[in-house]
């Protein structure tokens, strides 16, 4: 690779401008199967192809079961719709007081800022709007959102989302953070971004300096597989956390054939901790249209999750949750540890399956 090409490769704007959008471009990185070619052609009208050259470079060029390929290259299964599939499974539009703002929980609101992502993940919850420019709020609508936050004192946290909010220019990011930080009742700002995974060169020194002006910033990223924990991703996370202003957490989605194994998740979680990232959520895949082939049965998900408990450090284990279809919010999906409740004690099963009895806090009567 020439010096000029290497410089281009490290430029996040070049990566976005040269996003892979068709099979011809993708074939310069991998050998596509007939099934992949057919799926690309047949699913484009539903959800377009979009992959950064960087993320494509992580793909195994020959293995169609490569976890990077499975997350970003269409499968014909996307044309199969379950009876439970929804365009907007989390009812985000239903809880939208002003354009771009979803306010479901009492104390926090999500602000949709961009329709653009570095990679259009095939399991995306917002397939109805991501990659479609008409769904993006404009500058006047940003102001309406800020006005809503100012007058709604119950909002203590604003979550910047999209698309990917880090697809915005640094001037825009700086302005948005400044405006939010000027609202007295907002306690913290959270940024949800997959750029450290799919476009790590976006985490520039200048972006980190902006974050440093608005301490504390909580950034939630989205690694799903150990293969995504590349040297470039590790370097991007290091830039974020070593300057001290940003706390980085990770949310994964449990995906059939990609990370539906306790061994894969253990490896991922330990790699994340070694990078300075706290595993935060493990999501049950949402009931969005065309992704039923990714969904792991909940009972198997609970078994996978139980195999993590006690087998690795507690700080490396995310909380397994489902975001309820219809807008009910997140609920934990936990294995059953309580075996029996007695009058004064409860019996629990530990991670090995052994039974233990502990006091339940009820006062026993003194012996007469």
pLDDT by position in tens, the chain (length 368)? 334 478 899 999 999 999 999 999 999 999 999 999 999 999 988 889 999 999 999 999 999 999 999 999 999 999 988 888 888 888 888 999 999 999 999 999 999 999 899 999 999 999 888 877 776 778 889 999 999 999 999 999 999 999 999 999 999 999 999 999 999 999 999 999 999 999 999 999 999 999 999 999 999 999 999 999 999 999 999 999 987 789 999 999 999 999 999 999 999 999 999 999 999 999 999 999 999 999 999 999 999 999 998 888 899 999 999 999 999 999 999 888 888 888 888 998 888 888 999 988 866 554 44
**Are 127 and 288 within 8 A, CB to CB?**
yes
Contact 233, 90 (CB under 8 A): no
User: Exposure pattern of 136-162 as b/e (b: 16+ CB <10 Å)?
Assistant: bbeeeebeebbebbbeeeebebbbbbb
Write the burial class of residue 318 (CB in 10 Å: 0-12 exposed, 13-18 middle, 19+ buried).
Answer: buried
Tell me which CATH homologous superfamily contains domain 101-332. Aldolase class I (3.20.20.70)
Give whole-number Cα distances, 322 to 24, 43, 161, 272, in Å.
37, 27, 19, 22
For the chain, domain boundaries: 3-79, 101-332, 337-368
Token pair listed for 286: 């949402």
Other CB atoms within 10 A of residue 320 CB: 23
User: Are the CB atoms for 76 and 65 separated by under 8 Å?
Assistant: no
Beta strands at 329-332 and 345-349: parallel, antiparallel or unpaired? unpaired
Check the CA dihedral 354-355-359-360 and report its sign. Answer: positive
CA dihedral of 120, 124, 126, 131, whole degrees rounded to 10: 10
Whole-number Å distance between alpha carbons of 214 and 93: 29
Q: Active-site residue numbers?
A: 104-105, 108, 117, 121, 124, 126, 286, 323, 330
Residues making up the chain, counted from first to last: 368
Helix (H) or strand (E) holding 305: helix 298-306
Would you call the peptide bond into 143 cis, given omega within 30 degrees of 0 as the criterion?
Answer: no
């Amino acid at each position: 690779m020439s010096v000029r090409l290497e410089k281009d490769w490290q430029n996040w704007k070049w990566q976005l401008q040269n996003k892979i959008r068709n099979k011809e471009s993708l074939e310069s990185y991998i050998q596509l199967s007939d099934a992949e070619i057919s799926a690309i052609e047949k699913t484009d009208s539903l959800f377009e192809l979009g992959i950064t050259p960087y993320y494509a470079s992580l793909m195994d060029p020959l293995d169609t079961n490569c976890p990077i390929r499975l997350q970003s290259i269409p499968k014909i299964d996307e044309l199969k719709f379950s009876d439970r599939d929804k365009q907007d499974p989390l009812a985000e539009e239903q809880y939208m007081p002003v354009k771009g703002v979803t306010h479901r929980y009492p104390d926090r609101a999500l602000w949709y800022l961009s329709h653009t992502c570095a990679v259009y993940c095939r399991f995306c919850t917002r397939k109805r709007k991501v990659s479609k420019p008409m769904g993006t709020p404009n500058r006047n609508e940003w102001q309406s959102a800020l006005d809503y936050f100012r007058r709604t004192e119950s909002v203590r946290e604003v979550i910047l989302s999209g698309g990917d909010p880090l697809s915005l220019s640094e001037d825009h990011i700086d302005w948005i953070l400044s405006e939010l930080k000027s609202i007295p009742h907002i306690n913290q700002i959270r940024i949800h971004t997959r750029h450290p995974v799919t476009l790590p060169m976006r985490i520039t020194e200048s972006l980190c300096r902006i974050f440093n002006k608005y301490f504390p910033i909580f950034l939630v990223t989205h690694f799903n597989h150990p293969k995504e924990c590349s040297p470039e991703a590790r370097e991007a996370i290091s830039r974020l956390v070593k300057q001290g202003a940003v706390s980085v957490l990770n949310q994964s989605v449990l995906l059939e054939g990609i990370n539906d194994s306790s061994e894969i998740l253990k490896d991922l979680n330990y790699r994340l901790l070694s990078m300075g990232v706290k595993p935060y959520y493990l999501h049950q895949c949402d009931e969005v249209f065309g992704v039923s082939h990714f969904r792991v049965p909940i009972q198997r998900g609970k078994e996978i999750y139980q195999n993590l408990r006690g087998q690795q450090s507690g700080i490396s284990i995310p909380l397994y949750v489902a975001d309820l279809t219809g807008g009910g919010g997140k609920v934990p999906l936990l294995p059953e540890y309580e075996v029996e409740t007695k009058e004064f004690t409860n019996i629990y099963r530990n991670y090995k399956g052994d039974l233990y009895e502990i006091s339940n806090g009820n006062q026993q009567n003194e012996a007469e």
